[in-house]
Structure 1
Amino acid sequence: MGTSIRAALAADPDLGAGNVLPKLIEHGAPLDGPGLGFDTPVDGLPAFHGMTLGELRDRVAARAAWLHAQGIGPRDPVAVYVSAAADCFLHFMALTWLGAIPALMNPALPGDVAAEYIRRLRAVGLVADGAHRGLLAGESLGLARDLLIDPASTGSGEPAAAPAPYRHHQQDPIAITHSSGTTRMPTAVVHSNASLFAATRLIRLKTPRAQGTERVLCTLPAPHAAGIAAINHIMCNRGELLFLSQQADGPAIVETIERWKPTGVFGFAATWAALARIDLTERDVDSVALWYNTGDCAHEAHVRRLVAAGSRQTVGRGGVGRVPGSMFVDGLGSTEMGHSAFHITHRPDTERYGRCIGRPHVFVEIALLDLATGKEVPPGEVGHFGLKSPSVAAGYWNDSAGWYRTRFQGYYLTGDLLYRDEEGYYYHVDRAVDAIDLGGGQWLYTAQSEENILRTCPDVHDCTVVAAKGPDGRVTTDVLLALHDWADPGVDRTAEVRAALTEAAAATLREVVVVGEDHLITGPTGKVRKFLMRQRSLARAAAD
């Protein structure tokens, strides 16, 4: 049945990211088959209960009926600012059931930032739990219909009263998600029914189900485009999925792995950094065959600790067997990209690291560009990453000028700097806004420097390189180290760090300091806000 459902879905030209639930039912997916599970209770169902497809339909239809009774309908933008993954996804599905446009917000956004973001959305209403209504208290939100909705109420709707699911066109907007906000106010990114489903349609439904995707624990941020893509991917492949509300709580994630026995874990770089603090070889994680990363590419030091744990199936002369060690699928993605453009699989016996993000997916076109000349750079030379892909977002909500600034010769410019080798593998060196021109053809790439430091210093768990150019043109670089629990914080690691940097970058080194994670300025997705870190560094330099 699973194979025939996948074939029917793949052949349906109207299927997209906003209508997977009703389409599964339309094509005859058994209602007692897998739906979704969450780490919080849902309408009397306990936490960690795996809802069947029928239970999921009823819970979504109840919310659709309740929201419909409030007058919410097609093309109404509705902000969703909640903590629980269940509240995020059940309202996403209920709003798309009505043809409305859910604007999913990261729960870690500060109240003042969230209020300004909502005002810029010009939403008709807001779904917000008690904690987030408190953060917004006293703020003017500019809601078109003054609909302030408590997610605890919407599940009381009568499922049978829900209207028929809205029939989406492929270009209809089905969600607004936002960028990480590491350098500025988060940008509202619009995803269409087609764009956010492109990778699932072109890869996931047309190839055999990948090992490790039978039973998936998802630690991705629920309001992120990657979260929506993950639930659509697993539901269309009729797998089981448990979605957690926290992405970087390493001990809690490991405890859930031991309890729920997933075959795969999906997450962002923050998740892998948190798990790499734990000796997974001493924990019961043998069920995990696959760690799947998207967003920023992962560090080798973290990947190696993950693939040393778990187990995977192999096929040999003796047939199918299971061997120690798991797989880690890496790549590079972003909210605007809609899906990772690259893929590479690491195993315990693989050695292609150095921030290698692999080769492009078949549905994308890649160009590494010199923006001054408009020409592509040759292999081995760093260029700006330009992307053409059906997965690219439809634009920025209420900001067409900002969206068109990202376009260059028909490509979407991601803001990343990459190079490719002669074999066609691509490597990520930095974000363009974080790289520093040192003159004489020399550059300081902060992400590549962090990778090199982690490889050189095995007792360093994670690190952040903050490089800033002052008004006088002088570059100063600070290296902030987070150590493994067993490392000695009193050891001077300056010589090791200096050796890991290029000669030109090492000449700018001001200090190497061990810090706690609370010293870093991070955004709502856990990314370090290097823009603010640079400002702090420059302020300190001016005071010296």
Structure 2
Amino acid sequence: MRLRSVKRHLASVPRMHFGPSHRGLRARLELLATRQLGAGDFLWHALERGQDHQAPLFHHLPPGGGPEDVVVYSLADLRDETERYARWFHSQGVTHGDRVGVFTRNGMASFVHFLALNSIGAIPAVINPNMVPDTAARYLSRLDAVGVVVDADKLGPLLNGLQDARPFRFTASQEEMHAAPPAGPLPPVYPYRHGDRDPVLISHSSGTTGMPKAATFGHRQFFAGKRPRIMTLPSGRDDKMLLAFPASHSSGYSYMMMATVIGLPTLVMESQDGATVAAAMRWWKPSVVTGFPITFSELIALGLEPSAAANVTTWISTADASHEAHVRELVRLGRHRSNGAWRPGSHYLDGLGASEMGMALFLNIHGPDTEAYGRCVGYPEPIVEDALVFDEHGRELGPNQVGFLAVHTPTVTLGYWGDHELTHKSIRQGYWLTGDVGYRDEKGRFYHYDRTTDVITTRRGPVYSLTLEEEIFKACRVVVDCAVVGVVDPVEPTSLAPIAALRLIDQANLSAEELLNQINVALRRAGRHELAALVISKGENKIPLGVTGKVLKREVRARFAHLLLSDDDDGGLEVARTPTEQSVLRRLAAQPAVESDAAHA
């Protein structure tokens, strides 16, 4: 919105009553008109236009805690904590452009580090607390970080992982730093004034395809997609948000940014599992719930009671597109306004994005009466200038032709830190390749079929793993999480055959054989490729998960690559193979004996 039109609109905006922490309509329109507002300085703009700096804003729920354990932060608390951390970093010689690792499970501390480092022009390199310390050490070494703040119990393992790398200038435990008094003066220029392309964050990918990639986010770029949401994110006087994104993830930072800017009271969760989120919903009573699809699938598997979601109007998910079976259940819960009255049913904002995108770039809004499923991710967000589908040669494809999704948008990462080759390979004709396979229909809606690394090349042609997972979730309510991958096909070893690794609810009493038969019946009915086998985990999970809770398909592929070639023990997981695969396995097992007898004769 142009500044002139905003000023003209401000004159006609009526004064409305909001809660003490909320920014009213006038303040939000002024923020929207502020060109220099970005990811590096939003706190100071929020302070300038805040209604009550002492009003509760963030409510931090520590691990294993309940409502009595919540630590409350106001806008003034954020300002004071940011300044205190900034003094400490400045005393350590941290200055403009330095990379500093932030490796803590304390979500609010992680956010304050983000604010403090940006306030002195440094660049936070934030790491998910679930990352293995050795991997974190190698990752930070690649970034040439000058130092790291880390939870005390991870400090030793992290330093051990740096034995063959340049040592940090400083290391600090999060606990000691938090308890330390302010150290020394602030920089002569405080807060630092960011240019449009100044880096404000280095955020790693989920690592599902290997060593996490280091996506760089810029001051203006990282905030570009958030500007419109200043006016669209639910933020009335009774709205409250529950943040089930990891606070250390770029998605978590995004919604904490928005909460700060518009003054939306937010419960910051340290755990994203369904049981913990459901428990918090019962007493926090949020109207907006944000999280990755795995959190919502666990909520459904647990049978989230309607009373816990009674106030929910909006569910917000990003990263991978969500599955129909989970969305349909969630939109039946909660409430929405229609003709001035509350009606049953909520809305689910399903966003397809990735770490490199800076935000979800495709959005499908589901409601109790919508029917745009079938892996539909909806239309490109308004911030996206163009979106299309390429073939493998870089030619644009027409409607209903499956290829590689690409976008042209100001929200895309500035690039991968220190890896110009990877950055260059991700760009084609000025478009950023998202790493997804899909198509668009005649109406301009896009569909997400798979990640490029997860497409299964079978004897019958390509099989898209997400389309099989979609049917599995619809057919089997006991499945909490699912990963379909390709393993070596014993009939044609140069091809792959699809199998599924499933995580089930504890109460599931189906055998692997029963479940495999049930799934393949559903896949046949849907016209999809059947599974050759499946492995299931109940109770304690034995299926590899990434730092954000996503199943690591790369590791699943490696672990079960020869599942159809051998019946060796699979580490306590229950395994089932189709009768055809069992027959092939018996034939393979018999071959060495036949060859040995012939040699003996």
The normalised TM-score by structure 2 is: 0.83
Residues 489-500 of structure 1: pairs in structure 2 closer than 5 A: 489-490=510-511, 492-500=514-522
Partner secondary structure for residue 451 of structure 1: helix
1:542 is displaced (CA, Å) by 4.7
- Deviating more after overlay: 460-469 vs 447-456: 460-469
Structure 1 residue 275 displacement after superposition? 0.9
Match of 1:259 in 2: 283
Matched residue, 2:445: 425
- Report how far residue 309 of structure 1 moved: 2.0
Residue of structure 1 in register with 2:80 after alignment: 58
- The structure 1 residue matched to 2:476, chosen from 457, 464, 468, is 457
Which runs of structure 2 are paired with 1:370-381 in the superposition (5 Å)?
A: 370-372=391-393, 374-381=394-401
**2:374 partner SS:** coil
Instruction: Report the alpha carbon displacement of residue 412 of structure 1 after superposing the two structures with TM.
Output: 0.8
Identity %: 35
Deviates most, 346-355 or 20-29: 20-29
Alpha-carbon distance in 2 for matches of 1:328, 1:507: 29
Residues 14/363 of structure 1: CA separation in 2 closer, same or farther (3 Å cut): same
1:276-306 deviation digits (Å, cap 9, x = unpaired): 1222235432121111001111111111222
Q: Which residue is equivalent to 1:351?
A: 371
How far does the alpha carbon of each residue in 1:207-235 deviate from its partner, in whole angstroms, 9 at most, with x for none?
Answer: 57467993111011122111111111222
| 1:226 aligned residue (251, 254, 261) | 251
Match of 1:243 among 260, 263, 268: 268
| Equivalent residue runs for 1:158-169 within 5 Å | 158=182, 161-163=185-187, 164-169=190-195
Structure 2 residue identity aligned to 1:204: R
Q: 1:363 — aligned with what? A: 383
| Rg comparison, structure with higher value | 2
Question: 1:534 aligns to what?
Answer: 557
Is 2:219 the counterpart of 1:193? yes
Cross-structure match for 2:310? 286
Q: Quote the RMSD (CA, aligned, Å).
A: 2.6
Q: 1:397 and 2:417 equivalent?
A: yes
Offset, 1:457? 3.3
Asked if 2 retains the 8 angstrom alpha-carbon contact of 1:77 and 1:124, the reply is: yes
- Tell me how far 1:192 sits from its aligned partner: 0.3
Structure 2: gaps of 5 or more residues: 1-22, 567-584, 586-601
The answer to which of 28-37 and 92-101 deviates more is: 28-37
Partner of 2:173: 150
**Equivalent residue for 1:77?**
99
Q: Distance in 1 between matches of 2:183 and 2:347?
A: 41
Q: Which residue of structure 1 aligns with residue 24 of structure 2?
A: 2
Say which is worse superposed, 265-274 or 347-356, in terms of deviation: 347-356
Quote the residue 2:430 is aligned against: 410
Q: Secondary structure at the match of 2:289?
A: strand
Query: 1:358 touches 1:427 (CA, 8 Å); kept in 2?
Result: yes
Superposition deviation, residue 445 in structure 1 = 0.5
Aligned to 1:308: 332
Aligned to 1:173: 199
Q: Secondary structure at the match of 1:107?
A: coil
Give the direction of change, closer, same or farther, for the CA distance of 1:423–1:159 in structure 2 (3 Å limit).
farther
**Is the Cα–Cα contact under 8 Å of residues 482 and 551 in structure 2 kept in the other structure?**
no
1:133 equivalent among 155, 159, 163: 155
Q: 1:145 Cα deviation (Å)?
A: 4.9
Q: Could you say if the C-alpha distance between residues 487 and 508 of structure 1 is closer, same or farther in structure 2, counting changes exceeding 3 Å? A: closer
1:200 is paired with a residue whose SS is coil
Partners of 1:86 and 1:132 lie apart in 2 by 18
User: Which piece of structure 1 moves more, 410-419 or 462-471?
Assistant: 462-471
Aligned equivalents of 2:117, 2:423: Cα separation in 1? 25
More moved, 133-142 vs 284-293: 133-142
Match status 1:204 vs 2:223: no
Cα 1:209–1:302 change in 2 (3 A) is closer
Contact 2:406 2:432 in 1 (8 A): yes
Question: Structure 1 length normalisation: TM-score?
Answer: 0.91
How many residue pairs get aligned? The number is: 533
Residue of structure 2 aligned with 1:335, choices 333, 355, 361: 355
Correspondence list, 1:455-534, <5 A: 455-469=474-488, 472-490=493-511, 492-501=514-523, 509-516=531-538, 518-534=541-557
Distance 2:232 2:152 in 1: 43
Which secondary structure state, in structure 1, belongs to the residue aligned with residue 501 of structure 2? strand
Once residues 110 and 461 of structure 1 are traced to their aligned partners in structure 2, the CA distance between those partners, rounded to angstroms, is 24
Q: SS in structure 2 opposite 1:119?
A: helix
C-alpha distance in structure 1 between counterparts of 2:475 and 2:350, whole Å = 21
Kept in 2, the 8 Å contact 1:40–1:46? The answer is: no
Q: Is the 8 A contact 1:462 1:481 kept in 2?
A: yes
Q: Report the CA distance between 1:322 and its aligned residue.
A: 1.5
**Most deviating of 450-459 and 261-270:** 450-459
Greater alpha carbon shift after TM alignment, 350-359 vs 102-111 = 350-359
Q: Is the 8 A contact 1:34 1:238 kept in 2?
A: no
Helix, strand or coil for the counterpart of 1:67? helix
Which stretch of the first structure deviates more once superposed, 161-170 or 468-477? 468-477
Q: 1:413 to 1:448 in 2, by over 3 A?
A: same
Amino acid across the alignment from 1:266: T
Looking at structure 1, the residues matched to 166 and 327 of structure 2 have their Cα atoms a distance apart, in angstroms, of 44
Matched to 1:175, the amino acid is: L
1:273 and 2:297 aligned: yes
Distance 1:327 1:282 in 2: 15
Question: Counterpart in 1 of 2:113?
Answer: 91
Please, which runs of 5 or more residues in structure 1 have no aligned partner?
none
Contact 1:78/1:125 (CA < 8 Å) preserved in 2? yes
Alignment of 1:319-330 (within 5 A): 320-330=340-350
Compared CA separation, residues 113 and 212, structure 1 to 2 (3 A): farther
Q: Distance in 2 between the 1:489 and 1:460 partners? A: 11
Contact 1:369 1:375 in 2 (8 A): yes
> 1:132 deviation in Å?
1.6
**CA offsets 1:372-411 (integer angstroms, 9 cap, x no match):** 2x22222112110111111101111111111111111111
Seen in structure 2, the aligned counterparts of structure 1 residues 160 and 199 have a Cα distance that, compared at 3 Å, is farther
